[in-house]
Amino acid sequence: MRNTLFVFLFYFFLTSSFAQKTTLVDTSDYKERTLFISDFKKSNEILIKSIKENNSGKVSKSLINTYKNFESEFIEEIKDKNFTFKSGLETYVQDIISDLRKDNPNIPHNIKVLIEKSNYPNAYCLANNTFVVNMGLFNWLDNRDQLMAVISHELGHNILNHVLNSQIKNITENLNESNIVKGLREEKNNRTTKAFDYVKSRIYAEKALRRKHETEADSLGYVLYKRTNKNQFEYINALKNLLDFDTISPNKVSKKIYLNLFDLPHQKFNENWLENDDFTSYNYEGYKQKFDKDSIASHPETIERVSNLKSYFNELEKEQKSLLADSSYNLLRDLTKTEILPNFYYNEKYGLGIYVAMQFFEEDEELENQTFYKDWLGKCFKKIYDARKDYKLNRYLDTVDPKNHSESYQQFLNFMWNLKIEEIKNIADFYNKTP
């Protein structure tokens, strides 16, 4: 739940500058999607051929089945328009990779870039040289150099072949597991405890390997980045932005916004909508964790990653503020800000979409984008109404979690759950009819 919330928290760090023409990404990209799917299949064929040549027996067979199944699922995501091909973001990332390759000839030439319609600030690479960059990354990073730093990190994963190596190790351990299970079945005493100990040790080992891979990718990524003679401190600043992403508190939605948005001509605002449940007596410590969270964390804490880099590369001991972005980066960042609400909608995060729209209303004092916000507010409320009518609201709206939710978000969730179905419909109808 905590990660879900932080998907949107960082946007409010940016909303004071969110005043631009609301021109959305061009989605008439059938030709581009079709071409990409064709290229993706070819690259997967090359990967499968390499797997056959370098692995044998059950490992090879399992890997091939994995990638064939993944190909089908991933192509369906492409067909479902989860990615964009005509935004300009993909060519921008390709240009960064080309710049890195000038000073790092070991970077592959057949890298394909996908831009995902996701607000989460993330990027990842696949074993067939496909790089996926989320739109949210453009919002979260300060400039082109920081984006290059993140891409360098992912190239580190790619060059070190982390994805495929991890899968091979996992498959090998799965194949060996049958002997371990057989041995456990023959145990007469403490069979359950020993089985749990095995599962726990397996999870710890897998997560430890992932943390090791992240540290390796940080170091190699910095070497790739450093060779371009870009500002070296921006590599650390990119990671520090991720640290902010872990800790930033959300701005509040004031009662004034609720009154402004939901006191309608044919449905007056009801103060009872803002009533909060009392969770003060709930014992959140009653559940004892069976796994140590730090031990199974897949990524080292960001502050540890920064510390490691500084210890490996002495020149990073100093600190420097982030550089201002150039006009081309600012244009793309403005574009991705415009996509925030549509992305929440198309990813079926309707509750978050409503809350983010309300945050934008709170911050946009110049009111330049109110029509745009209201449009998406109406769309999301319509989906919330449909879900409430079909008894599926839990899929699209969080339940209150006082331990992990801010007071502002708790207030919002209480408000949403307090609304009656006909009241939700009235709000949806009003904003879907309002010009």
Written as six digits, the tokens of 138 are 């453009």
Please tell me the predicted confidence (pLDDT) of residue 209. 86
For the beta sheet containing 123-125, the strands, ordered from the edge strand earlier in sequence to the opposite edge, are 83-84, 112-116, 130-134, 123-125
d(CA 165, CA 159): 11
d(CA 2, CA 249): 12
Q: For the chain, how many helices (H) and strands (E)?
A: 18, 4
The answer to whether 398 touches 4, Cβ cutoff 8 Å, is: yes
d(CA 426, CA 428): 5
**Secondary structure of residue 371 in the 3-state scheme:** helix
Please tell me the predicted confidence (pLDDT) of residue 397. 93
d(CA 92, CA 395): 35
Written as six digits, the tokens of 53 are 């040549």
pTM score of the predicted model: 0.84
Residue 157 identity:
H
d(CA 6, CA 138): 16
Q: Which residues on neighbouring strands pair with residue 116, listed in sequence order? A: 83, 134
**Secondary structure of residue 29 in the 3-state scheme:** coil
Residue with the two structure tokens 């949806």: 428
Q: Return the H-helix or E-strand segment holding 133.
A: strand 130-134
User: In angstroms, what CA-CA distances link 25 with 12, 146, 334, 340?
Assistant: 21, 23, 11, 11
Q: Render the burial of 4-20: b for 16+ CB within 10 Å, e for the rest.
A: ebbbbbbbbbebeebbe
Please tell me the predicted confidence (pLDDT) of residue 174. 83
Written as six digits, the tokens of 164 are 């495929």
Q: Which residues on neighbouring strands pair with residue 131, listed in sequence order? A: 113, 125
Residue 199 identity:
V
Mean pLDDT for back-to-back runs of 10 residues, the chain (435 residues): 40 42 74 95 95 92 93 94 92 97 95 93 92 93 96 96 92 81 71 74 82 93 97 94 62 90 96 78 46 50 87 92 94 92 94 92 72 93 96 92 84 95 97 77
What is the per-residue DSSP string for 292-320? -HHHH-SS--HHHHHHHHHHH-GGGSS--
Q: Which of 91, 107, 92, 95 is nearest to 224 (CA)?
A: 107
d(CA 386, CA 283): 34
User: In angstroms, what CA-CA distances link 185 with 171, 172, 173, 188, 194?
Assistant: 22, 21, 18, 8, 11
Tell which phi-psi region holds residue 57, choosing left (phi > 0), alpha (psi between -120 and 50) or beta. left
Please tell me the predicted confidence (pLDDT) of residue 296. 46
